[in-house]
Amino acid sequence: MSRLALIAGAGGLPAALVAALPERPLVCALEGFDPAGIAPDLRFRTERLAVFLRHLQDEGVTRVAFAGAVQRPRLDPAQFDPETAQMVPRLLAAMAQGDDATLRVVLAIFEEAGFAVVGVEAIAPALLPAAGVITGAPGPQDEADAARASAIVAALGAVDVGQGCVVAQGLCLGVEALPGTDALLAEVSRLAPPLRPAARGIYYKAAKPGQDRRIDLPALGVETLRGAVAAGLGGVVFEAGSVICLDLPAMVAFAEAAGLFLWAR
């Protein structure tokens, strides 16, 4: 069986993915973005990407998967090796076009080095729940809010802005942008009438339309549910088969204790 390397970023997703795999992959972390709950086998710098790719080849790696959050690192020109320096104009041009363009170029660089890039749904499909109400009971207004939220997130994703929003009584109370999910839910928790309807509302999460599903699929965990409760929401809805649940049993237990419904739509 071909050897797998996990290119890990911050957060709990890399550890959840490793736990779901039959064999531990080679866990590689970009310097400054160590994953939570798992120790990297090695770290690498963007400025020495070509050296890192050769190291993976020497280790017998043939497949790579990406999981976890990273931010654009500050590049130190003094650290570049000659081969990586030749990649810089290509990377900078992609960064200027947004996250999706940057990720496409990163995937292309790994593929050009001979690696097959695999997504979470290919190696750990159980982390992406199929359609159905997981716990709780969304009502007719929740269903209407979810439909409205789905249309909003599709529009956001089409311009590479975000993957989530909050809707209550058909009103969009906030959308996910660069600060992320926690910031969105915290912002909603501070809203008061007349900006905030009396009804509970929902948080919705989905993949961007047409995104490469091998990288940057959205993820949910208990912390997201905690933020939804603090924001006074009644449920969390997500696109079935397209959103990673980091620890679904723990999410269900928390949701049931908090009176929150979970729905893979």
What pLDDT score does 1 carry? 57
* CA terminus-to-terminus distance, the chain: 35
The answer to whether 103 touches 215, Cβ cutoff 8 Å, is yes
- Label the pairing between strands 42-44 and 26-30: parallel
Nearest to 44 by CA among 81, 98, 11: 81
How crowded is residue 86: how many other Cβ atoms within 10 Å of its Cβ?
A: 11
3-state SS, one letter per residue, for the chain? CCEEEEEECECCHHHHHHHHCCCCCEEEEECCCCCCCCCCCEEECHHHHHHHHHHHHHCCEEEEEEECECCCCCCCHHHCCHHHHCCHHHHHHHHCCCHHHHHHHHHHHHHHCCCEECCHHHHCHHHCCCCEEEECCCCHHHHHHHHHHHHHHHHHHHCCCCCEEEEECCEEEEECCCCCHHHHHHHHHCCCCCCCCCCCCEEEECCCCCCCCCCCCCEECHHHHHHHHHCCCCEEEECCCCCEECCHHHHHHHHHHHCCEEEEC
**Where in the chain is CATH 3.40.140.80?**
128-264
The one-letter code for the residue type at 241 is: G
The verdict on pTM exceeding 0.85 is yes
| Tens digit of each residue's pLDDT, the chain (265 residues) | 579 999 999 999 999 999 999 999 999 999 989 999 999 999 999 899 999 999 999 999 999 999 998 877 777 888 888 999 898 888 888 877 877 788 889 899 999 999 999 999 999 999 999 999 999 999 999 999 999 999 999 999 988 888 999 999 999 999 999 889 999 999 999 998 888 877 789 999 999 998 888 988 999 999 999 999 999 999 999 999 999 999 999 999 999 999 999 999 9
Span 128-264 CATH architecture? 3-Layer(aba) Sandwich (3.40)
> Cα(29)–Cα(32) distance, rounded to whole angstroms?
8
**Where in the chain is CATH 3.40.50.20?**
3-123
Supply the CATH classification number for the domain 3-123.
3.40.50.20
The answer to whether 124 touches 114, Cβ cutoff 8 Å, is no
Nearest to 224 by CA among 254, 186, 168, 181: 181
